A and B are shown apart, each in its own frame.
Chain A
Amino acid sequence: MTEAGSASGAGTIPPGLGMDADNLHRLGQTPVFDPVRVEEVINRYRGKRWVLIPLLQEIQEVCGYIPPALIPRIAEAVGMFPVQVQGVISFYSQLHTEPRGKKVVTVCRGTACHVRGGRSILKVVKEHLGIEEGETTPDLEYTLETVACIGVCALAPNMMVGRTTYGSLNPSKVARILGRPKAASGGD
């Protein structure tokens, strides 16, 4: 209340990483990104015009996602309001404000894949990773997503891990690709 009450109070979001530390604490994690590199990236774009999108993409590459606590700093560097930066991030489905896995597994749910058993592939992947769609494994290795069509229907069923596409999938091939035992059977 007093903060809003002081007309000229500085921004209400404290600088630093407080909020994400909280988020990650909830996930049982510590921040995984390198503050020095983040600093370097932000400074490289500082004061330039029309650089918000590339800056955000690079932050996402460095951190795996865009930590909300960095938004005020990013905004300040490019001369925008934090709320504008937040709006831009939320507009692009490729930008994320939640931690993401190092590898994004994208299982195709298009028609071609569906008729060739795409649904059970998704189920197998979920079992392996122990997460649902849109979630990230607690070790921040994998994030699971689905997509309407990867564009290689001839090889269906398909999925992508990172930027690599894998076709003609079956459960054992999935296990090989993900290279880890089913989450349900306990980790290593």
Chain B
Amino acid sequence: MNKVTITLDGREVTGMPGETILDLARESGINIPTLCHHPLLSPNGACRVCLVENERNGALLAACVTPIEPGMMINTRSPRVLERRRQIVELLLASHPDTCMVCDKGNRCELRCIASEMGVGMLRLERIPQYGAIVDANPFLVRDLGKCILCGRCVKADQELVVEGALDFLGRGFGTRPATLQEVPFEHSECTFCGTCVSVCPTGALRERDALTSGSTSEQVHTTCPFCGCGCSVVLEIRGDRIIRARPGTESPVNQGTLCVRGAYGFDFVHSPERLTTPLVRRGAHLEPASWEEALSLAASGLRRLREESGPDSLAVLGAPTGTNEENYLLQRFARTVLGTPHIDNGARLHRAPSYTGVGGTLGYPGTIGTIRDIECAEVILVVGADPAASAPAVAYAIKRAVTRKGARLLLIEPRRTQLVRFASLWLRPRPGTDIALLNGLANAILAEGLVDPDLVTTRTDGFAELVSTLQRYTPAAVASLTGVTEGELVQAALAFGSAARAALVYGGGVTRARRGTDTVKALANLALLTGNVERKGTGLYALQTRNNAQGACDMGAVPDFLPGYCSVEDSAGRQKFEERWRTRLPAGRGLSASEALAAAVAGRVKGMLIVGENPLGYFPDPFAVEHGLKCLEFLVVQDLFLTETAALATVVLPAASFVEKEGTFTNFEGRVQPVRQALPPRGESRPDWQILLSLAEAMGAPLPFASVTDIEREILELVPFYEAPSLGLEAGLPTREAEPWARRRLHERLFPSTFGRFLPVEYVPEEEPSQEFPLTLVTGSSLYQFGTGMRTSRSSRLSSLVPRAYVEVSAADASVQGIWDGEQVRVVSALAAVEAVAKVCADQPAGVVFAPLASPEARFNRLFPAVIDPQSSLPVLGHVAVRLERGRLDD
């Protein structure tokens, strides 16, 4: 391409064709004011504040939308330009209300900044009357359209970045305003309160509700969102000891200037009055405040006594994906070397294990391959058993951007109507539990159509012949009768997926939580291998992570089957490396998973437990059995932010610091290692989990050789091969970028570590049919406003105010059979328990399927699930369960 040379304020400068005058000016260090322009949004050219003059012909041009042309002589500061800009800003101010002094936008208002830069103050114009504020009852954002300058950024942010379609301009001329459909308040619109429009609005027209009034904040901290596995980068604005607001990090390739409602408005749980601020120790029936010395020595002596009396095997440890990598690393080392027990698990495994066993076995790398950016480059995106709009919103945004802006085709395999359905070109609704049959059917149809990648399949994989012979049975007709998906749809999907040059496969909790989740993941990996959708940009297999550091916690080896870096505990050579480094003998063999440990507690083989940041009572199936297990323990130590149901059963409770009160790193679902930075001192006497663990080790007489997070990090870099420097971002100014080593690793150079990919054929196994007694199938999923066990989100004032009452979605067909009305109180009854909820009748839910969000603090749907353990992943199953609905409340 030929470069273009123009004259800019008297200097010759050169740029690429297509670049705008504004781009080139900024590259050359020349400042042109802008209002409607935003680097993340498509150009608009609405405000004309960026006018410049082409001195060749006297034309006034909007710099932000005018491409450079050879020979232009641009003056950015000619008297004419300055005068016109001034007039434009004066006109904007003329229609702007006089409330700048008290406007919450304060110094962040770009209109105010530009006006003061230009010295536009007193107005010489007659004021133009404008709209007043709009009454929105939602707890998140306020619209004050009198301050709107019609720059269009909010509309573009909504449509181009998060692709929700809540806003567009309405009307023409003076009456134009950004509006929702039918001008309903935000809470009745498509708005998901992601706050992205607020973050780009240059004036006070859109702002967050209840931010502590005007002015600027004293400190900004770049950190990583602690809610879901997307790992969005956020900027926390801090004043005093409070988070005033959260803004999206604009540099991050993960969220690219967006957040979801949890990241934008959910952080105030750290200020909750319910935070634990002192250690608690059990005196009789009560937990009472105690000093750290007392609590630590009690915890240490209790654990030591059990280890001496009943052996290290009598102790088990459970960590959480909310901990940093460093904490999870430390926790597994604490378990394996200080306590000497192999029984270490973490709550993340609940969703992660099928992925690392399934993908690890086939592709050889136990995690997501590819990045969010890759999803955006795919031609076809197949989403299986996932509702990313609720569980991993940043991924949903990427998928929707791919569809609306790049013309990607979206194929959905999902029993429920999720938000993505609107964007899908094909929506397959298999009966719950038949995913494997459907995926095998797709693979078979792809084989039949000759759409396999011959090169990859013949030269670089094992097991193809076995796969072919297994797939033979999954003819379109057979699959159609098993799954309820028509033959036509099946073949259509196979053609679309198989013939795409680049296809991405995204799966979520609907797969990993279900029975035989590991096999489903294998079927997905087979599909990706078969079509050659690995190893290239725009392809890949994506395991959505509902919980933030799920990937990192498993990478760090806080699991019963792997040492850090997925070194199998059964691999003695690998174990030796750790034994030498840690100068100790490691317990041989696989440890017990948390569910197994709790069962062992009932049997009296496990007697003591350390639980860090996890609340199995709120999360695991059959919580009555969990509770029984916990109560059978002689000794339980819990580290947490809040007194959870689990902590309430403990002997010693140690108050933990939240993610804003400590340093470390989180690994997102892509495998990107990102910084967690301290913004506030720990609340009360709480301490970061890593400090607590170090003190505990010391109190047990086995101090660990770390004094800081950086020390732990150093050991991780040494022992976990794929956590190479400089991807750990503590020193770096911003979260890690595309170019760094992890990205090379994910982008497939070493994809098949054993040089071969392996097809692992899997068979569909029918489950028991719904019975007369329990005719419906309950499927569970995520909800956007409640998260995990709701431990944190229910303590966020704004999120919890929007939480609907516990609900269960019922198909119109089932509702009419049972005479259930929308909004009626119902009991959801399984063979195990009953839970109360409000029925939400959904027209297009398939009959026979009811849905409930797993994270409902007031209705623990996990109670309905029997403690069935998936043998391959030793995970409890939370996918679906047979239920019936009854009208009325629990005590009726």
Contact = CB atoms under 8 A, between A and B. Distances in A.
Interface of A: 1-13, 68, 71-72, 76, 79, 81-84, 86-87, 90-91, 93
B783 A83 contact: no
26 contacts: A2-B804, A2-B805, A4-B187, A4-B191, A5-B804, A6-B783, A7-B192, A7-B389, A7-B419, A7-B782, A8-B389, A8-B419, A12-B188, A13-B181, A68-B182, A81-B165, A82-B165, A83-B166, A83-B168, A84-B159, A84-B165, A86-B170, A90-B169, A90-B172, A91-B169, A91-B172
B449 interface: no
Interface string B864-884: 000000000000000000000
B103 interface: no
B760 interface: no
A1 B168 contact: no
5 closest A-B pairs by CB:
A81-B165, A7-B784, A5-B804, A87-B168, A8-B419
A12 B840 CA distance: 14
A7 B783 contact: yes
Given A7-B192, A8-B419, A12-B184, 12 more contacts: A2-B804, A6-B783, A6-B809, A7-B784, A12-B189, A13-B181, A79-B404, A81-B165, A83-B167, A84-B168, A86-B181, A93-B172
B20 interface: no
Contacts of B181: 12-13, 71-72, 82-83, 86
B389 A86 contact: no
Contacts of A79: 404
Interface string B376-405: 000000000001011000000000000010
Interface in B755-792: 782-785
B807 interface: yes
Contacts of A5: 783, 785, 802-804
A91 B172 CA distance: 5
A4 B802 contact: yes
Contact of A8 (B168, B172, B390, B404): B390
Given A7-B785, A10-B421, A81 B168 contact: yes
A71 B389 CA distance: 24
Contacts of A81: 159, 165, 168, 190
Contacts of A84: 159, 165, 168
Interface in B460-489: none
Nearest to A88: B168
A27 to B, nearest CB: 18
A3 B785 CA distance: 12
A4 B170 contact: no
B844 interface: yes
A4 B188 contact: yes
B203 interface: no
A92 B126 CA distance: 29
A23 to B, nearest CB: 12
B783 A86 contact: no
B90 to A, nearest CB: 27
B405 to A, nearest CB: 12
A74 to B, nearest CB: 12
A13 B165 CA distance: 13
Contacts of B182: 13, 68, 86
Nearest to A76: B422
Interface residues of B, number: 47
A76 to B, nearest CB: 7
Contacts of A76: 422
B536 interface: no
B583 to A, nearest CB: 50
Contacts of A10: 417, 419, 421-422, 842, 844
B171 interface: yes
Given A1-B804, A82-B181, A84-B165, A6 B172 contact: no
Interface of B: 138, 159, 165-172, 179-182, 184, 186-192, 387, 389-390, 404, 416-422, 782-785, 802-805, 807, 809, 838, 840, 842, 844
Contacts of B138: 4
Interface core residue of A3, A72, A86, A93 (most chain B CB under 10 Å) = A86
A116 B446 CA distance: 78
A33 B184 CA distance: 26
B369 to A, nearest CB: 26
Contacts of A4: 138, 186-189, 191, 802
A87 B169 contact: yes
A90 B844 contact: no
Contacts of B169: 87, 90-91
Contacts of B192: 7
Contacts of B842: 10
B170 A90 contact: yes
A6 B803 CA distance: 9
B390 A1 contact: no
Contacts of B168: 81, 83-84, 86-87
Nearest to B802: A5
Given A1-B802, A82-B165, A83-B190, A8 B387 contact: yes
A79 B400 CA distance: 12
Contact of B804 (A6, A12, A68, A72): A6
A7 B804 contact: no
B180 A2 contact: no
A51 to B, nearest CB: 17
A72 B422 CA distance: 11
A82 B387 CA distance: 22
Contacts of B159: 81, 84
Contacts of B419: 7-10
B840 A1 contact: no
A56 to B, nearest CB: 15
Given A10-B844, A13-B182, A87-B168, A2 B389 contact: no
Nearest to A71: B181
A130 to B, nearest CB: 28
B656 to A, nearest CB: 29
Contacts of B166: 83
A6 B421 contact: no
A94 to B, nearest CB: 12
Contacts of A9: 419
A125 B182 CA distance: 33
A92 B138 CA distance: 32
B190 A12 contact: yes
Nearest to B184: A12
Given A82-B165, A90-B170, A8 B418 contact: yes
B171 A90 contact: yes
Nearest to B185: A4
Contacts of A12: 181, 184, 188-190
A3 B809 CA distance: 12
Nearest to B261: A7
A91 B170 CA distance: 7
B145 to A, nearest CB: 15
Contacts of B404: 79
Contacts of B838: 2
Contacts of A91: 169, 171-172
Nearest to B784: A7
B165 to A, nearest CB: 3
Given A2-B840, A83-B180, A84-B168, A11 B804 contact: no
A82 B192 CA distance: 16
Nearest to A97: B182
A1 B417 CA distance: 19
A83 B186 CA distance: 13
A8 B838 CA distance: 17
A158 B555 CA distance: 81
Contacts of A2: 804-805, 807, 838, 840
B226 to A, nearest CB: 19
Which of A1, A4, A76 neighbours the largest number of chain B CB atoms within 10 Å of its CB?
A4
Nearest to A80: B165
Contact of A1 (B180, B187, B420): B187
Nearest to B182: A68
